[in-house]
Amino acid sequence: MDAAPPKATSDRLLIAILLAIIPISQIPIDAYTPAIPDMITELGASSTLVQNTVSAYVLGMSIGLLPIGIIADARGRKPTLLVCLALLFVASIGCALTTDVYTLLALRFVQGLGGCATMVIVYAIAADRFRGTRLTSISGLLGASWGLAPVIAPAIGGLLVQYISWRGIFVLIAVSAIAAAAAIVFLLPETLAVEKRTPIDLREIGGVLASTLRRRIFIGLTLVFAVFAVAQLLFGVVAPLLYETQLGLTPGMYGLVALLIGAANLAGELSTAHFATRVSPRVLGFAALVSFSAGAIILSLSGVLVGPHFVWITVGGMLALAGCGALCPLAYGLTLGKFDRNLGLVGGLTSAICYLFVAVTMSAASALPDNSQAPLGFVYVGVAVVGVVLLALCLPGARALRRASGAAADLHAKA
């Protein structure tokens, strides 16, 4: 009887640490976006080049996720996190000091390599400790914390740009890396037991990757995660140019608007955390898709009929990002829940596919016209259509779930 409370306290502490660490992977994107117009002027670079510094960070993430997941499976979660945070710190200081956009592109790539660990390893730690619907619910909480970055970071970034400099944003990222490292050293337990570690064997890794990629449900859920992560990040890149250049808002004012839109994204993340153990994934997924689709339609029609307009961009963005906020952690939690070993590798593969997809599409999207919300809305309509197909294929209905449950019960009875 006395042993239960310490275990519960340990779980609560673990979750609290993970919730504090995971936004660090996203802060270098969201705190940074209000600075894009100022950086174009100060660095004397084109808008495409400066926007591609966001893509460089995401590309670094996508390339680093899989090897970091593999290393974390072999060496443990804690030491791998600390090394990556050191890399993030060094790259962030370099970004704060550079005066050349091409050097900034390279440093942002390195930043992405370090920052990605705070996402893939955090989810692997959660999967080490929790399973089933509990893991999906925890995934929603982690997604909500990750979603705090789009809520808070643009507001902070906008104030730093307006009253100090865009370079202060990178100092903030470096300080965050140090604080996270301190929490990991003193508070975070190692959750991967020695007997569950998998040595770095290229043949075995290749076998695991091949078997994972042959599972259609893995591919489908990963694509759900990828297309809605693209939609979420795309808004963060296009919105500053719409609000600041087209509507004349200051960086600080844009940061406050981003706070409002990010709150909608956070509400979506929290809805997954709350409803994951209460309704079926299919109901939760399609409800989120309805919200996203409504936002896509509002952005498209208002862009064509009215042009840049504060209310319609904001309302459309809030609905769309609320849908993204619910769908991304739902897909990620369901994906990890299909596996019980090599969770760092599987999580790294999922995230790597997602962010490679994000990096390629974000780079292409830098050429997207930014004089109206209509092009963004049209892209979102396409994402919604893809989402309908993927969710229909990946999320079983109630009848299929009952059949699966009955088959499992029969198998258990025979055993």
- Residue 406, pLDDT > 50, answer no
- Topology alike, domains 8-135+145-190 and 214-414: yes
Phi (first) and psi of residue 267, to 5 degrees: -60, -40
Per-residue H/E/C for 236-280: HHHHHHHHHHHCCCCHHHHHHHHHHHHHHHHHHHHHHHHHCCCCC
State the pLDDT confidence band at 150, using cuts at 50, 70 and 90: low
What is the model's pLDDT at position 404?
39
Read off the tokens for 296.
């896509």
Residues 190, 104: Cα–Cα separation, whole Å: 34
Is the model's pLDDT at 409 over the cut of 70?
no
Report the pLDDT value the prediction gives residue 211, as an integer from 0 to 100.
82
Question: Which pTM does this prediction carry?
Answer: 0.67
The ranges assigned to domains in the chain are 8-135+145-190, 214-414
Tell me how far apart the alpha carbons of residues 154 and 239 are, in angstroms, rounded to a whole number. Answer: 11
Amino acid at 282: R
Non-local CB neighbours of 120 within 8 Å, separated by 6+ positions: 65, 68, 69, 72, 344, 347, 348, 351
Question: Are 320 and 268 a contacting pair, CB within 8 Å?
Answer: no
Question: Quick one: average pLDDT of 33-62?
Answer: 82
> What DSSP designation does 214 have?
T
Report how far apart, in Å, the C-alpha atoms of 261 and of each of 66, 154, 241, 257, 267 are. Answer: 31, 10, 15, 6, 10
Cα separation of 274 and 36, whole Å?
35
Q: Are 140 and 337 in contact (CB under 8 A)?
A: no
pLDDT for 313-369, tens place per residue? Answer: 999 999 999 999 899 888 877 887 777 767 667 777 887 787 777 777 766 666 677
DSSP 24: G
Any idea what DSSP says for residue 193? -
Return the ∠ at Cα 338 (arms to 337 and 339), rounded to 5°. 90
Instruction: Enter the DSSP assignment of 100.
Output: -
According to DSSP H, which parts of 337-397 are helical? 343-365, 374-394
Which residues, at least 6 apart from 76, have a Cβ–Cβ distance to it below 8 Å?
A: 190, 192, 197
What CATH number belongs to 8-135+145-190?
Answer: 1.20.1250.20
Residues 353-364: pLDDT tens digits? 877 777 777 666
Distance CA 235, CA 295 (A): 12
The domain made up of 214-414 has a fold known as: Growth Hormone; Chain: A; (1.20.1250)
Contacts of 258 by beta carbon, 8 Å cutoff, 6+ apart: 30, 33, 34, 150, 151, 154, 155, 158, 236, 239
Residue 208 to residues 124, 130, 272, 355, Cα–Cα distance (Å): 16, 22, 29, 20
The answer to whether 87 and 113 are in contact (CB under 8 A) is yes
> pLDDT at position 369, please?
72
